[in-house]
């Protein structure tokens, strides 16, 4: 199988050459530009606003990433000029939306730490045909920005929170900000945001709190979604001993009440959703995101634009298209459109994490989550 290389896109003559396609895709011209060779329609763009963050989650940021200056030198945190500018991001999103993509999530790094985000969201919000802009945040700055986000039309926020214990929060994230996150959650709740809390499930770290999270789902209008811990990033702290399958989490949660599956609305993405009903009649919603035990590659509709301007068609595959090089070398909109199309065409069928794990290998993609955008 032959895949396009990044250099193909930087070569200005590339678009005069015949389209290079994988062997499966015999007649790409007949495909809708957003349909890949496995008949998936790619309609959802996740945009990493920055690789910087005000937390240092042990599974996400490079170890010891304390000193910003030092880390721009060692390449672990990008220099500002290496990040896509808002103008560049807006151009890519506009072209993607014109091609038919209609969902956008802003992530990172921590999107709320980049100056000018609200103005950027405002510009996105007036793009025709783009459904709601959604945000994934660690919640540290949520209380400060919630009202303005609402004013710019954001209605749904995913907040990442792996523990409800302030001390453990500091251990996981390297920062003593549990109170700020909690304050942000309550403020966003009071303003009427739809809120999903993402919990990365880690045996020996937060498994004793799964029940507390389930109770939170019963007591507050927060949807709690447990995410299987993935081995991501060259310096990932991932450890097989910490991995816990969604099925095991579900068994633990079921001690708090009855779990009844319901069909994923379009809205829920890859999460398997359940209604949780406690013996006293209280109800809540919990979900499980199972990239490893039940990977959802056959339904994956995503494309990611990393903070460095690389277009990535699979979170767990390091193959990328260098859109920044195109943008900064004067490529026409047609060329950008074509490279998006080719990236979609070459989206891999799926990943092999579970097999790798079974073979006893430590599977990892080299890309760092804070740059790719989770
Ligand atoms: N800073 C924001 C936040 O924490 O929500 C957005 C970026 S963060 C990379 C996006 C999501 O990826 C978070 O929910 C985080 O918990 C998740 N994540 C990061 N590394 C992960 C890993 N190795 N396995 C599973 N989820 C991970
Ligand atoms: Fe920052 Fe989010 Fe990564 Fe934690 S998971 S270090 S909050 S980008």
Ranking 236-240, 310-314, 335-339 by mean pLDDT, the lowest is: 236-240
- Measured in Å, residue 53 CA sits from the centre of ligand 2 at 6
User: For ligand 1, is residue 369 a contact (CB within 6 Å)?
Assistant: yes
236 pLDDT band, cuts 50/70/90, is low
DSSP H helices in the chain? 6-10, 68-73, 86-99, 117-125, 142-151, 166-173, 178-191, 210-219, 246-253, 323-328, 333-345, 353-358, 369-372
User: For ligand 1, is residue 177 a contact (CB within 6 Å)?
Assistant: no
Beta strands in 172-309 (DSSP E): 194-201, 222-228, 258-261, 272-277, 283-289, 302-305
> How does pLDDT run across 14-65, given as a tens digit for each residue?
332 333 334 444 454 456 789 999 999 999 999 999 999 999 998 887 665 5
User: For ligand 2, is residue 60 a contact (CB within 6 Å)?
Assistant: yes
Q: What distance in Å separates the CA atoms of residue 348 and residue 3, rounded to the nearest whole number?
A: 10
- Return the percentage of the chain with pLDDT > 90, whole number: 66
Question: What are the chain's domains?
Answer: 6-372 (3.20.20.70)
For residue 5, the model assigns a pLDDT of: 38
User: For ligand 1, is residue 342 a contact (CB within 6 Å)?
Assistant: no
- Measured in Å, residue 369 CA sits from the centre of ligand 1 at 7
Whether 2 has a pLDDT exceeding 50, the answer reads no
User: For ligand 2, is residue 368 a contact (CB within 6 Å)?
Assistant: no
Whether 187 has a pLDDT exceeding 90, the answer reads yes
Q: What is the number of the ligand 1 atom nearest to the C-alpha of 238?
A: 23
Q: What distance in Å separates the CA atoms of residue 69 and residue 79, rounded to the nearest whole number?
A: 9
Whether 6 has a pLDDT exceeding 70, the answer reads no
Which range among 210-214, 226-230, 237-241, 362-366 has the greatest average pLDDT? Answer: 210-214
Mean of per-residue pLDDT scores for the chain: 86
Ranking 9-13, 77-81, 140-144 by mean pLDDT, the lowest is: 9-13
Determine what percent of the chain falls in helix, strand and coil, rounding each to the nearest 5: 35, 20, 45
For residue 270, the model assigns a pLDDT of: 81
The single residue listed with the structure tokens 């299987």 is: 228
> Model-level pTM?
0.89
239 pLDDT band, cuts 50/70/90, is confident
- Measured in Å, residue 87 CA sits from the centre of ligand 2 at 24
Ligand nearest to the CA of 108: 1
User: For ligand 1, is residue 372 a contact (CB within 6 Å)?
Assistant: no
Whether 133 has a pLDDT exceeding 80, the answer reads yes
Whether 321 has a pLDDT exceeding 90, the answer reads yes
- Measured in Å, residue 60 CA sits from the centre of ligand 2 at 6
User: For ligand 1, is residue 138 a contact (CB within 6 Å)?
Assistant: yes
């Amino acid at each position: 199988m032959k895949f396009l290389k990044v250099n193909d896109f930087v070569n200005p003559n590339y678009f005069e050459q015949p389209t290079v396609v994988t062997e499966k895709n015999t007649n790409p011209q007949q495909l809708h530009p957003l349909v890949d060779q496995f008949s998936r329609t790619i309609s959802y763009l996740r945009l990493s606003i920055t690789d910087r963050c005000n937390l240092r989650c042990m599974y996400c940021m490079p170890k010891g990433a304390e000193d910003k200056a030092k880390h721009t030198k060692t390449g672990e945190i990008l220099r500002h000029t290496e990040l896509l500018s808002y103008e560049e991001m807006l151009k890519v999103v506009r072209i993607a939306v014109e091609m038919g993509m209609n969902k956008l999530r802003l992530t990172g790094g921590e999107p709320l730490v980049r100056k000018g985000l609200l103005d950027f969201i405002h510009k996105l919000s007036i793009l025709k045909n783009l459904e709601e802009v959604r945000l994934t945040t660690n919640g540290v700055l949520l209380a400060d920005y919630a009202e303005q986000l609402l004013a710019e039309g954001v209605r749904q926020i995913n907040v990442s929170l792996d523990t409800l214990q302030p001390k453990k929060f500091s251990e996981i994230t390297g920062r003593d900000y549990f109170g700020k996150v909690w304050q942000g959650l309550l403020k966003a709740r009071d303003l009427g945001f739809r809120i999903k809390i993402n919990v990365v499930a880690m045996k020996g770290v937060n498994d004793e709190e799964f029940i507390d999270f389930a109770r939170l789902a019963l007591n507050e209008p927060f949807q709690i979604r447990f995410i299987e811990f993935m081995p991501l990033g060259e310096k990932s702290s991932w450890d097989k001993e910490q991995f816990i399958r969604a099925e095991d989490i579900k068994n633990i949660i079921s001690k708090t009440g009855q779990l009844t599956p319901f069909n994923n609305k379009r809205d829920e993405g890859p999460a398997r959703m359940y209604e949780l009903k406690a013996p006293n009649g209280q109800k809540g919603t919990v979900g499980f995101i199972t990239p490893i035990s039940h990977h959802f590659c056959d339904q994956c509709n995503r494309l990611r634009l990393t903070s460095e301007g690389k277009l990535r068609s699979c979170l767990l595959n390091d193959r990328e298209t260098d859109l920044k090089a195109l943008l900064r070398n004067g490529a026409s909109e047609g060329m950008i459109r074509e490279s998006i199309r080719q990236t979609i065409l070459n989206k891999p069928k799926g990943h092999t994490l579970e097999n790798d794990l079974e073979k006893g290998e430590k599977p990892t993609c080299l890309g760092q989550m804070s740059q790719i955008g989770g």
